[in-house]
Amino acid sequence: MAKDKKMVQAITSMEEDFAQWYTDVVKKAELIDYTSVKGCMVIKPAGYALWENIQKELDRRFKETGVENVYMPMFIPESLLEKEKDHVEGFAPEVAWVTHGGLEPLQERMCVRPTSETLFCDFYANEIQSYRDLPKVYNQWCSVVRWEKTTRPFLRSREFLWQEGHTAHATAEEAQERTEQMLHVYADFVEDVLAIPVVRGRKTDKEKFAGAEATYTIEALMHDGKALQSATSHNFGDGFARAFNIQYTDKENKLSFVHQTSWGLSTRIIGAIIMVHGDDNGLVLPPRIAPTQIMIVPIRQQEEAVANKVEEIKARLAKKFSVKADFSDKSPGWKFAEQEMRGIPARIEIGPKDIEANQCIVVRRDTNEKITVSLDEIESKMEEILETMQKDMFERAKKHRDAHVYDAKDYAQFKQIMDEKSGFVRAMWCGEEECELKIKDEIGATSRCMPFEQEQLTDTCVCCGKKAKALVYWGKAY
Amino acid sequence: MAKDKKMVQAITSMEEDFAQWYTDVVKKAELIDYTSVKGCMVIKPAGYALWENIQKELDRRFKETGVENVYMPMFIPESLLEKEKDHVEGFAPEVAWVTHGGLEPLQERMCVRPTSETLFCDFYANEIQSYRDLPKVYNQWCSVVRWEKTTRPFLRSREFLWQEGHTAHATAEEAQERTEQMLHVYADFVEDVLAIPVVRGRKTDKEKFAGAEATYTIEALMHDGKALQSATSHNFGDGFARAFNIQYTDKENKLSFVHQTSWGLSTRIIGAIIMVHGDDNGLVLPPRIAPTQIMIVPIRQQEEAVANKVEEIKARLAKKFSVKADFSDKSPGWKFAEQEMRGIPARIEIGPKDIEANQCIVVRRDTNEKITVSLDEIESKMEEILETMQKDMFERAKKHRDAHVYDAKDYAQFKQIMDEKSGFVRAMWCGEEECELKIKDEIGATSRCMPFEQEQLTDTCVCCGKKAKALVYWGKAY
């Protein structure tokens, strides 16, 4: 029993210490574990099953837009990494270097990919000759390495899993279209499937990706009021194409540079699921992404009639849902607590009295609401309950997010909000990096994005008082 | 048109130069391409789609046996790699070493995983305490690195994709059972889905995995008569458990070491698909693994009736099959050659005369057979044709394999067969490594496996004349 006990021991409460609550949840919901490899995690079955579901759903949405999957080498020779100036400056300080192959030193050292723009560019330079070869809309699912100093499960680790899409187009317009299209694919997925509302917008130049002309982002608000960049999509213009000489002949036989994009979403998003939906009993998983959607807990499982009925109901539900039954030798109370910790969306309790009444008790993980359901209608009712729960979880997260968005009309107000509250602050900005730096230093907020839906809160920059150019979402970020 | 021409240019014939034929096919069927990273390949969309199908089917079969997927770090600290003596000796000479993280040298260098036994053991040592924690049946899909000197697409490259299963069990019997179970999962998959007949057996001690008590293998015969080790499954006994101190308390509260297994299949298997089924027109894909099973080629596609009928047939077939229609501006002849190169199992030709007769022409990739099919029956007929093709491909490969298995009763005969023919040689062996080394040196054959189905061809070892202990399949291997 020792091990079960460990799981259902109370975790730190969110209000008391959010960071400790987070660490407790990832460990006790058995999503990850630490390893002997500093800064790297093991993703355990419950965590990896989540990632598999994310992959499956996102990959399907990618393919609907014409994306094809490929696999590039994990190593980048130093000379290749250095070809695009901004890019190498952004990444070189945080890569892992391979210097020896077997017993011999390498002629040229290679880094483990922190991202694969340079590899795709090198490949496209050979692969693309004519307009007939365009567009290329490739993606890969892989792991990447960034040598971070401080790490946190899912949010920041030296190795993480992600997908990175890399495309090449004939025109600037097409590249811009693809950049925005993929941002919306991410946003729709995160909202519809993960039940996390996001702000869609553009990064300021200071915050954009190393080597990009423009970076677009979706930003989500965690329960503690901090922002989490949940996916990004970059338009490179022809910058990389010029550095790597990726040219094509058009229909008039004229040579032009291609226009490129890249876009990615990583296991970091699992951190967002935890921090948006979780509560003091553990993880809460949206039904559409939960590896196990329903757990049936038999009451008095030693009675044959109960065991049989549970198996029957499980078989019926298995046609539509991912369902398990817990026949382990723990008490029902232990089982309830375990499944709450693991975030399983719905629990069904069936005991002798329920069977007599031809009913069962369904308990929603998010609200703890108990619903009596006739066994005759179990399939349709579970569908209804899970759909409602999915919708409610999104609405609840949106309400929480909206309640933590503040407008700041001047600098003092901005400072006061950041000091006293947590969340997004909306304020106007002149477009100068100087103001961003000042706001970061003095107020402790970074620009999260310039939302697609722009408003004119004031005419002047919240910081310097010069003419405002854009509405910006500011916040403290993970 | 330049690019299409390149594709349909005649490739080297198999009889003329099998190695060149292989290289031509992987390139011209657009499965892979070379990169600036020496010894590493790009897996292009057609190649990666094959791997995705392999993953999907194998992963489903794994999960049916209770396998759970996880993800371990890609790095192994040197001290961890060194914990099991045989293992480090086997792998240290061929790993890539990371010595710097960012701008600083690491305190301890780490290798990029060549395989992850040591990481799983390190993890299990913490994770497993009691018999309640057993068995652990974990698997990961990832890439691994082995610093090979000479490389060939799919068959041997410095980085390759694979899955590696790692299990821990309470008893030796359970570990042995799992080792054999997974070998049969591989064998059934390779035979049923990839249409490649295999010999199931055990490796000699000389050929077994570094650190294993016993290695089991499935061996396939390529068209040129060389053998390809297609998947392996290892029983480690408690060797790793002792080196890593992985102990559990049983029901009587007694401490025991766990028993472990590991098993893997890699992108190498794509090389087997090519070399077992391919022909002088290119790739030939078994219908059950082909990313595109049917390609419809319109004849006189500019006629609206043709275009409409092709779209209608495509929509009907899409309910059951993976089907595409080629409306590009190439001639039908070009399209035929392209699809043959890519190995698409069935082609459907539809033109005005066909529509008039309410029929179409189906062409099988493997036999080039042309079959007239009524459009009313197209779904059921395609199912029949593809199923027959799948079965015929296996039978053809098996017939070829069986025709290249020779029995050698003495050393002279063994040498003569290896000199004059190519294929598997079955011969008895005394169990001594000395004889294996002699046979390798003088005859050029290595022991592929001791098949599960043993026979007593002779009473004495084909090499030394001492008492025979086992029937062995010998051959030249990739």
Residues 6+ apart with CB under 8 A from A296: A310, A313, A314, A317, A323, A324, A325, A326, A347, A348, A349, A350
Which residue matches tokens 């961003």?
Answer: A436
CB atoms within 10 A of CB A70: 21
In whole angstroms, give the CA distance from residue A457 to residue B477: 73
According to the model, what pLDDT value does residue B130 have? 96
In whole angstroms, give the CA distance from residue B349 to residue B330: 14
In whole angstroms, give the CA distance from residue B8 to residue A465: 66
Residues of chain A found within 8 Å of residue B126, distances taken between Cβ atoms: 33
The answer to whether the CB atoms of A129 and B77 lie below 8 A apart is: no
Return averaged pLDDT per consecutive 10 residues of chain A, 478 residues in all: 50 95 97 92 98 98 98 96 87 93 93 97 97 97 95 96 98 98 98 98 96 97 97 97 97 96 98 98 98 97 96 98 95 94 98 96 97 98 98 98 98 97 97 97 97 97 97 97
**Shortest Cα distance from B175 to chain A (angstroms)?**
21
The answer to whether the CB atoms of B97 and A99 lie below 8 A apart is: yes
The answer to whether the CB atoms of B42 and A70 lie below 8 A apart is: yes
What tokens appear for B440 in the block?
A: 């390798």
Phi, psi of B21 (to 5 degrees): -55, -45
The answer to whether the CB atoms of A98 and B103 lie below 8 A apart is: no
Q: Is the peptide bond before A352 cis (omega within 30 degrees of 0)?
A: no
Reference A124, options A78, A169, A179; nearest CA is A169
Would you give the DSSP letter of residue A249?
E
In whole angstroms, give the CA distance from residue B122 to residue A201: 43
According to the model, what pLDDT value does residue B8 have? 52
Residues of chain A found within 8 Å of residue B100, distances taken between Cβ atoms: 96-97, 99
Q: Where are the beta strands (DSSP E) in A170-321?
A: 199-202, 214-221, 227-237, 247-249, 255-257, 259-266, 294-298
According to the model, what pLDDT value does residue A4 have? 46
Which residue matches tokens 């567009």?
Answer: A135
The answer to whether the CB atoms of B130 and A2 lie below 8 A apart is: yes
Q: Are A90 and A211 contacting, i.e. CB atoms less than 8 angstroms apart? A: yes
In whole angstroms, give the CA distance from residue B255 to residue B238: 13
Which residue matches tokens 């890519």?
Answer: B342
Residues 6+ apart with CB under 8 A from A421: A225, A404, A406
According to the model, what pLDDT value does residue B31 have? 98
A248 has which bridge partners?
Answer: A256
> C-alpha distances in angstroms, A71 versus A320, B40, B41, B141, B161?
34, 10, 8, 13, 9
Which residue matches tokens 């084909």?
Answer: B462
Low pLDDT (below 70) residues in chain B: 1-9
According to the model, what pLDDT value does residue A89 have? 87
3-state secondary structure A49-88: HHHHHHHHHHHHHHHHCCCEECECCCEEEHHHHCCCHHHH
Best of A42, A145, A329 to substitute, by most chain B Cβ atoms within 10 angstroms, is A42
**Shortest Cα distance from A344 to chain B (angstroms)?**
18
End-to-end CA distance of chain A: 37
Give the chain B residue nearest A30 (alpha carbons).
Answer: B127
CB atoms within 10 A of CB B314: 18
According to the model, what pLDDT value does residue A87 have? 83
Following CA atoms B267, B268, B272, B278 in sequence, which dihedral angle do they give, to the nearest 10 degrees? 70
Q: Are A263 and A164 contacting, i.e. CB atoms less than 8 angstroms apart? A: yes
3-state secondary structure chain B: CHHHHHHHCCCCCCCCCHHHHHHHHHHHCCCEEECCCCCCEEECHHHHHHHHHHHHHHHHHHHHCCCEECECCCEEEHHHHCCCHHHHHHHHHHCEEEEEECCEEEEEEEEECCCCHHHHHHHHHHHCCEHHHCCEEEEEEEEEECCCCCCECCCECCEEEEEEEEEEECCHHHHHHHHHHHHHHHHHHHHHCCCCCCEEEECCHHHCCCCCCEEEEEEEECCCCCEEEEEEEEEEECHHHHHHCCEEECCCCCEEECEEEEEEEECHHHHHHHHHHCECCECCCCCCCCCCCEEEEECCCCCHHHHHHHHHHHHHHHCCCCEEECCCCCCHHHHHHHHHHHCCCEEEEECHHHHHCCEEEEEECCCCCEEEEEHHHHHHHHHHHHHHHHHHHHHHHHHHHHCCEEECCCHHHHHHHHHHCCCEEEEEECCCHHHHHHHHHHHCCEEEEEECCCCCCCCECCCCCCECCEEEEEECEC
Give the number of residues written for chain A: 478
What tokens appear for A294 in the block?
A: 């329903």
Best of A4, A7, A31, A37 to substitute, by most chain B Cβ atoms within 10 angstroms, is A37
End-to-end CA distance of chain B: 37
According to the model, what pLDDT value does residue B3 have? 43
Which residue matches tokens 């458990």?
Answer: B241
Would you give the DSSP letter of residue A473?
E
According to the model, what pLDDT value does residue A112 have? 97
> C-alpha distances in angstroms, B401 versus B208, B394, B440, B442, B469?
24, 10, 22, 24, 25
Residues of chain B found within 8 Å of residue A95, distances taken between Cβ atoms: 102
Write the residue in A97, A101, A138 that is nearest to B147 by C-beta: A101
Reference A411, options A399, A403, A400, A419; nearest CA is A419
In whole angstroms, give the CA distance from residue A460 to residue A409: 9
pLDDT tens, residue by residue, B255-278:
999 999 999 999 999 999 999 999
pLDDT tens, residue by residue, B170-188:
999 999 999 999 999 999 9
CB atoms within 10 A of CB B47: 24
**Shortest Cα distance from B147 to chain A (angstroms)?**
6
Which residue matches tokens 């190519």?
Answer: B422
According to the model, what pLDDT value does residue B10 have? 78
Q: Where are the beta strands (DSSP E) in A367-404?
A: 370-374
Q: Give the pTM.
A: 0.96
Reference B75, options B97, B106, B90; nearest CA is B97
Looking from the CA of A413 toward its CB, the CA atoms found within 13 Å total 10
DSSP string, A189-221: HHHHTT----EEEE--GGGS-TT-SEEEEEEEE
Looking from the CA of B435 toward its CB, the CA atoms found within 13 Å total 24
The answer to whether the CB atoms of B73 and A35 lie below 8 A apart is: yes
Looking from the CA of B282 toward its CB, the CA atoms found within 13 Å total 24
CB atoms within 10 A of CB B150: 6
**Shortest Cα distance from B44 to chain A (angstroms)?**
5
Give the number of residues written for chain B: 478
Write the residue in A52, A119, A130 that is nearest to B69 by C-beta: A52
- Residue A187 DSSP SS3: helix
CB atoms within 10 A of CB B137: 19
Reference A348, options A376, A320, A326, A315; nearest CA is A326
Give the chain A residue nearest B140 (alpha carbons).
Answer: A48
Phi, psi of A367 (to 5 degrees): -115, -10
Is A52 buried (19+), middle (13-18) or exposed (0-12) by CB count in 10 A? middle
Would you give the DSSP letter of residue A121?
H
Best of A32, A75, A109, A132 to substitute, by most chain B Cβ atoms within 10 angstroms, is A75
What tokens appear for B183 in the block?
A: 């070998």
Q: Is the torsion defined by CA of B111, B112, B115, B121 positive or negative?
A: positive
Angle at alpha carbon of residue A232, lines to A231 and A237, rounded to 5°? 165
Residues of chain A found within 8 Å of residue B161, distances taken between Cβ atoms: 71
The answer to whether the CB atoms of A40 and B75 lie below 8 A apart is: yes
Residues 6+ apart with CB under 8 A from B252: none
Q: Are B245 and B129 contacting, i.e. CB atoms less than 8 angstroms apart? A: no
